[in-house]
Structure 1
Amino acid sequence: MGTDFNQLFDEWSSTYDETVAGNDPEYNEVFRGYDQILNEVALKAFGNVIEFGVGTGNLTEKLVSYEKNVYGFEPSDGMRKIAKEKLPYVNLEKGDFLQFQPPFQSVDSIVSTYAFHHLTDEEKTIAIKKYNELLADGGKIIFADTVFVDEQAKVAMIQDAKNKGFHRLANDLSTEFYTTIPFFQELFRSLGFTSAFTQMNDFVWLIEATKQ
């Protein structure tokens, strides 16, 4: 991913929390149940936790409230600035899914919400292989993100967005790197993880993979 999306997120940082609160009709369904989704991820995390794509710190805040030992990475200066203002006592550093300095000798949980789709499938594979090396046995990857049951479902969702006049959403779904559940299942299986997928709304799935 590198810094490809940094300018976009720097610009979005000032209104991001308004978007996730449901103030943008095009993205209401994407963020439906946002608080519950963050809670699910935060509650499943344990031990030493790395969070990628901190954004404005909403998941981080949940993790802290549940007394998790979290260290966060966020590539966008604008997003990271807001997160640090909210959570000045939390370790939040510049970094992303692929470029970061591991903060713990042993990592138990790797978490992220609404961010892993910014990586291509090739980059996702590189990232998961890296996390496999970092995680202790029994460690978990816990992500919540937009994925699809198959490519046909993705095409149908893009067409549905166009039919509703949601052109920004349709463009996002067409141009960003949203992938499928079978892709994740095979990737995790090949690395010895067990995985489970729970649908949270029409777009977002809770992805939980445990290292065996």
Structure 2
Amino acid sequence: MGREFLNNFEQWAESYDLSVNGEDEQYKEVFRNYESILDEVANRSFGTVMEFGVGTGNLTKKILDKGLDVIAIEPSEAMRQKALEKIPNLSIYNGDFLNFPTVKSTINTIVSTYAFHHLTDDEKNLAIKKYSQILKTGDKIVFADTMFENEWERQKIMDEAKELGYLDLLNDLKTEYYTYIPIIREIFEKNGFEIEFIQFNKFVWLVEAIKK
């Protein structure tokens, strides 16, 4: 359920914003166009938004600045504290993609950035199935996450990371559940969504899925 990576989230809390700003050479390409990615997710959101993996609150702030309501969910206490430094009055639930509070609000958009890959493919399918039951026709899911077109593309990226000595990035690529676009497409379509992909860098694709 992604909670096996919780220690990583706790450790990343202090350095995450430095990484997204390009100060960690290993992750420069991962976070290239970071602000544009967040802007795109925020701009495609509407109504009441449920955000999974709030992290340090960067996307949350952009969505709130659009005048939208956000139901914020983050499993890491350290990340929640960082988000609250930016958005002091934000209520953040301790939850994850599969275990989250039942809310009375009607949810129109479900968003996440740089987090969905912490679920296995089976867990991704279970999560999207849950969200399909929450959303109504015309509502949407907008995720931005690392994924690859195929195994060859992933191996190529891993070889490049190894050649450059980016051992932390290489370890991520080996141990986290990065998946492939055909699998993501199948998961969303079989759960009743029309899906669009937009690539932002070598790693990150934006997925917009509209409930049919």
Give the TM-score normalised by structure 1: 0.97
User: 1:97 aligns to what?
Assistant: 97
SS at match of 1:207: strand
Q: Which amino acid aligns with 2:201?
A: N
SS at match of 1:208: strand
User: 1:206 aligns to what?
Assistant: 206
Cα distance in 2 between the residues matched to 1:110 and 1:102 = 14
Taking the TM superposition and a 5 Å limit, the aligned residue runs for 1:50-199 are 50-199=50-199
Cα distance in 2 between the residues matched to 1:68 and 1:173 = 34
Q: How many angstroms does 1:85 deviate by?
A: 2.0
Q: Which amino acid aligns with 1:195?
A: I
Cα distance in 2 between the residues matched to 1:138 and 1:89 = 30
* Number of corresponding residues: 212
Instruction: Give structure 1 stretches of 5+ with no counterpart.
Output: none
Give the TM-score normalised by structure 2: 0.97
| Residue identity (%) | 50
Q: How many angstroms does 1:2 deviate by?
A: 5.0
Q: Which amino acid aligns with 1:6?
A: L
SS at match of 2:160: helix
1:88-136 Cα shifts (integer Å, max 9, x gaps): 2222111110110132442110000000000000110110000000012
Instruction: Tell me if the contact between 2:2 and 2:119 (Cα under 8 Å) persists in the aligned partners.
Output: no
1:191-212 Cα shifts (integer Å, max 9, x gaps): 2210000000111000010000
Cα distance in 2 between the residues matched to 1:103 and 1:72 = 11
Q: How many angstroms does 1:4 deviate by?
A: 1.4
Question: Segments of 4+ in structure 1 off by > 6 A?
Answer: none
1:113-170 Cα shifts (integer Å, max 9, x gaps): 0000000001101100000000121110100000000111111111111111111111
Instruction: Tell me if the contact between 1:106 and 1:136 (Cα under 8 Å) persists in the aligned partners.
Output: no
Instruction: Tell me if the contact between 1:30 and 1:201 (Cα under 8 Å) persists in the aligned partners.
Output: yes
Instruction: Tell me if the contact between 2:93 and 2:101 (Cα under 8 Å) persists in the aligned partners.
Output: no
SS at match of 1:95: coil
SS at match of 2:84: helix
Instruction: Tell me if the contact between 1:45 and 1:109 (Cα under 8 Å) persists in the aligned partners.
Output: yes
